[in-house]
Structure 1
Amino acid sequence: MSINVDLRQLVYALSDALDLVGVDDIAHGKRVGVMAAECAKAMQWPAAEVHFLFDLGLLHDIGVSSTATHQHLIAEFDWAGSQAHAETGYGLLKDFAPLARMALPVRYHHTRWDALLADRQLPLELARQANLILLADRVDAMAAPFFAGGQVLQHREPIRREIAARAGSYFAPELVEAFLAVSAHEAFWLNLESNALANYLADMLATAQPYQASNAELMQLATIFAQIVDAKSSFTHTHSLGVARVARRLAEHMGVSVDHCEKLEIAGLLHDLGKLRVPDAILEKPAPLDEDERLVMRSHSFETMQILKKVRGFEEIASWAADHHEAPSGLGYPHGLDGAKLALEARILRVADIFQAMVQDRPYRPGLSRQAVSHFMAELQGRNSIDASIGGVLQAHLDELIQLARASA
C-alpha cells in the first residue's frame, strides 16, 4: 500500500473526532491550540514551538472519549478525576514516534504549576508546555458557554481575573503574564469563534512542515483512534479492532488487492469515529433505543465522513467507512444507497461490522454461538440486507472469522 498522506493533515482531521466528544460544543481542542499558540508567540518562542503547542492543544484531550468526562472538564475548574484521561492520553501517544514528544505534556496537562515544581519529574521546558495547555484549557472551560451566543467579549474580564488570581499556584507566572497581554485585545477572543478557527487551522497547516506518513504510521495512528472510540463504551470495547481484522480477512478471501485490503483495514479501524459525538447514555443503554436515540445513533456514519473526507489521499477510505451502514436493498443510512452504488469494500465492511457485533461478548449478553450467528447472517442475506457473495464467503470461513472477531487485541 502507498497512500500519499500528510500526517499533520490527518492529525488535524482526526482532532475533529476528539472535539465531537463535546456533543454541543465541538471546538474545544482547536480553541486550546489557538490560545496556546498565541501565548507562545507573545513570549517570542520559536515558530516550530508555536506549531508544536498548537498541535498539542488539538490533541491534549486524546484520552477523553466519554461525554460525561468532557462535561466534568468544562463544568469544573478542577476535578479529582481529571488525571485519568491525562494518563490515558500519555499511554496512547508515548509509543507513536511522530507524536511521542506530546506524551509527557499530555500526561501533566492537568497538574498545577506548584505541584510540577515540587515534583521536579519533568524538565522545565516540558513543564511549561504542559502548564500552558492547562491554562488555555481552563480559559476555554470558562469561556465555552458564551461562544454560541456571541457573548465571550462581554465575559472576558472575569476570566482574565480568575487566571491572574491563580498565578504561581495553578499557572506559571510568566505564562499568566503572556496570557494577560494577548487576551487584552479583542482579536484573541474573536479568533476562537468558528469561522476564525477554520481560517487559523488552515493557516497553521499551510505554514507547518509537511510530514509524509509511512504505511506503518498510518496504521498505528488509525489503531490509536480506534482505541479511543472503543474505549467510549464498555459495550463496544475492541469493536473497531475486530471489525478491521474481519473486514481485511473477508477481502483477502475474495481476492481483493493487497492495496485495497490494507486501506480497508484502516477504514475498519476508523469507521465509528462519529460515535464520539453520541452521548454515553445512548451507547451504554442495555435496551432497545427509542426513536430519538436511534436518530442520534444513526448520525455517526455521516460524522465519520465529515472527518475523513478532509484528508487528501483518504478518499476511498472515507467513502468505505462512511457507507458501512448502507445496505444492498437501499434501506440503509445515511444516504439510502443501493448495492449497485456501493463499493465492494463498503459492502464488506458492513458485513464485518454486523458480524463482529453479534459474536462479541457484551456486558448485557454473551456473543452468539456459531450456529446462531450463522443463522442470523443467513437471514440478513435472505432479506438483501447484506451482499450475498460476501455472506457466502463468511459462511465458508465462519470458524476463522469468529476467532478473529473475538480476539481481544
Structure 2
Amino acid sequence: MSINADLRHVIHALSDALDLVGVDDVAHGKRVGIMAAACARVAGLPEDEADFLFDLGLLHDIGVSSTRTHAHLVELFDWEGSQVHCQVGDALLAGFPPLAAMALPVRYHHTRWEDLQHLDVAPKLARQANLIFLVDRVDALSASHYADNTLLDATAGIRATIAGHAGSYFHPDWVAVFLEASRTEAFWLSLEPRAVQACLLERRGRSCSWPASMAELRQLAVIFARIVDAKSPFTAEHSLGVSRLARYLAERLEVSPENCDKLEIAGLLHDLGKLRVPDEILDKPSALDERERRIINTHSFETFQILRNIDGFEDEIAPWAAWHHEEPGGNGYPFHLEGSALPLEARILRVADIFQAMVQERPYRQGLSGAQVSGFIEALVRQGRIEGRVAGVLLDNVVEAMSVARPVFQDVARIF
C-alpha cells in the first residue's frame, strides 16, 4: 500500500516541526531558505538548484531538538559545540532517499570555508553548505532586530560583518553575491512574517508528487521521532516504544493491517509538538506548576497542526496522533472530545502512551513493575479515563507488553 503524498509538503512539515524548537522565534529555517534562494538567483544558478537551496535552508537545522541549542544558533555567531547538530542532521537525512542529497551540505553548514575547501567534499556540495552557513549567520545577526522592527537600521552593520569574514568563514564569491543581493530593501523585507508566509504559500502550490510506500512513510516518521526523542533524556526512546506497543495492541484488537501500519506511524509522531516545550520544563524532575502544565498541554495541538498539512495524514494519522490525551468522558485535551468521537486507534494510542511512560526507565526513577503499572491502569479504567477494552488486552498480556514498550538498545540502534 502507498499514500500519494507531496514531498514539498513533507519538507514544509519538517520545517514547521523545527520551528517549534525556537518557541518564540518560529521562522529561522524559512528565512534562511528565502535568503539562500535569493542569493542563488543573483549568482545565476538554475531554478531547480535555487529551489534545492530553499529547501536546504528550511531543513538545515534538522539536527536541533533543544531550545538551548536553538538559542545558541540565533544568539552567537560561532561557538564550540556548533558541529554537533550538523552531524546529527547528516545522520537523519543520509538514510532517507528523498532527502539524502541534503545530508552532506547539512553536515558542513557550520564549517568555515578556510577549512571546508581542504576537505574531501565535492565542490558543489561544499559551496551549497557554505552558502547556507553564510545566510544562517545573517539571520543570527538579524535576530535581535525582528521583534522591534529595527532590521533596516542594522543592515549596514550586518553586511559589514559578513564582508569581514570573506575568505575565512565564507567563500569570497558567496560574500560578493550576498552583498549584491542584500543591497535592496526588498531582500530584508522578504524576511518579515507576512512576506515569509506569502512565499511559503506560493511554494506549497508547486506540487511535488511522492507516491510513498508505508515503509517510506515509517522511515519519515522515524526521522520526526528521532528529533523529538533527542530533545530530552526523559523522552529518549519513548516514541518508538509507544509506536511498537500501539501496533501490538491494535493487532490483538483485530484492527485492519492497513490501520495498524498507520497507527504505528501515528505512534512515532504523537509527541511532535513537544519540540516547542522549553527544555527546562520538559526536563523538570519534580511536579509542574499550573503554568508549566498548560505549556506541556499545548503539545498535542501542535502535533495536529503540523501533521494535518501532509497529504495522506490529514484524515487518520494526524488526528490519531493528536488525540492521545483525549479521554472517553471528554475531560482530556486539547479538544475535549467525547468517547463516541474517538476512533479505536486513538484510544489505543492513549493507553500505549500512558503505559510506556510508566514502564520506561527515566533518569529520576526506575520503570514501574508489572504489578504497579497494572494497578495504575485498572484505576484509570475505573475513573473512565481510558478505554476499558483496550486496557483489558493490555492487562491480559502485561509482561509481553512491557517488553514491547521498552525496546532494547539493539532495537533502537536498528530502527534509528
Please tell me the TM-score bracket, short chain as reference.
over 0.9
What are the residue-to-residue correspondences of 1:6-405 with 2, within 5 Å? 6-117=6-117, 119-207=118-206, 209-315=208-314, 316-405=316-405
Kindly provide the CA deviation profile for residues 259-310 of structure 1, in whole angstroms up to 9, marking residues without a partner as x. 1111111111111111001011011111111111101100101111111111
Kindly provide the CA deviation profile for residues 48-69 of structure 1, in whole angstroms up to 9, marking residues without a partner as x. 1111111111111111000111
Classify the secondary structure of the residue corresponding to 1:213: strand
Structure 2 CA distance for partners of 1:208 and 1:128, relative to 1, 3 Å = farther
Distance 1:149 1:343 in 2: 46
Distance 1:236 1:311 in 2: 25
Distance 1:332 1:310 in 2: 24
Distance 1:309 1:150 in 2: 32
Contact 2:14 2:59 in 1 (8 A): no
AA paired with 1:206?
G
Contact 2:267 2:321 in 1 (8 A): yes
Q: Aligned-pair distance for 1:120?
A: 2.6
Contact 1:22 1:71 in 2 (8 A): yes
Contact 2:3 2:211 in 1 (8 A): no
Distance 2:178 2:298 in 1: 38
Contact 1:114 1:168 in 2 (8 A): yes
- Please list every run of 5 or more consecutive structure 2 residues that lacks an aligned counterpart in the other structure: none
AA paired with 2:302?
E
Kindly provide the CA deviation profile for residues 175-223 of structure 1, in whole angstroms up to 9, marking residues without a partner as x. 1111111111111111111221122122223336433322221110110
- Please list every run of 5 or more consecutive structure 1 residues that lacks an aligned counterpart in the other structure: none
Q: How many equivalent pairs are there?
A: 408
Classify the secondary structure of the residue corresponding to 1:401: helix
Contact 1:77 1:138 in 2 (8 A): yes
Between stretches 45-54 and 352-361, larger displacement belongs to: 45-54
Kindly provide the CA deviation profile for residues 313-350 of structure 1, in whole angstroms up to 9, marking residues without a partner as x. 11111111111111112111112112111111111111
Contact 2:4 2:210 in 1 (8 A): no
Kindly provide the CA deviation profile for residues 133-165 of structure 1, in whole angstroms up to 9, marking residues without a partner as x. 000110011112222233222221111111111
Distance 1:248 1:383 in 2: 25
Between stretches 142-151 and 164-173, larger displacement belongs to: 142-151
Classify the secondary structure of the residue corresponding to 1:292: helix
Contact 2:7 2:208 in 1 (8 A): no
Contact 1:7 1:212 in 2 (8 A): no
Distance 2:148 2:260 in 1: 47
Kindly provide the CA deviation profile for residues 108-132 of structure 1, in whole angstroms up to 9, marking residues without a partner as x. 1000011112x33211111100000
Distance 2:255 2:327 in 1: 20
Classify the secondary structure of the residue corresponding to 1:169: coil
AA paired with 1:27?
A
Kindly provide the CA deviation profile for residues 216-258 of structure 1, in whole angstroms up to 9, marking residues without a partner as x. 2111011011011001000110100111111111111111111
Distance 1:212 1:197 in 2: 28
Distance 1:284 1:290 in 2: 14
State the TM-score, normalized to the length of structure 1: 0.98
Distance 2:360 2:72 in 1: 31
Kindly provide the CA deviation profile for residues 78-115 of structure 1, in whole angstroms up to 9, marking residues without a partner as x. 11000011011111111111111111111110000111
Distance 1:237 1:202 in 2: 34
Classify the secondary structure of the residue corresponding to 1:235: coil
Distance 1:7 1:236 in 2: 28
Distance 1:150 1:249 in 2: 52
Contact 1:374 1:395 in 2 (8 A): yes
Distance 1:62 1:295 in 2: 27
State the TM-score, normalized to the length of structure 2: 0.96
Distance 1:139 1:322 in 2: 36
Classify the secondary structure of the residue corresponding to 2:106: helix
C-alpha RMSD over aligned residues: 1.2
AA paired with 1:150?
N
AA paired with 1:267?
A
Distance 2:346 2:151 in 1: 43
Classify the secondary structure of the residue corresponding to 1:207: coil
Contact 2:266 2:320 in 1 (8 A): yes
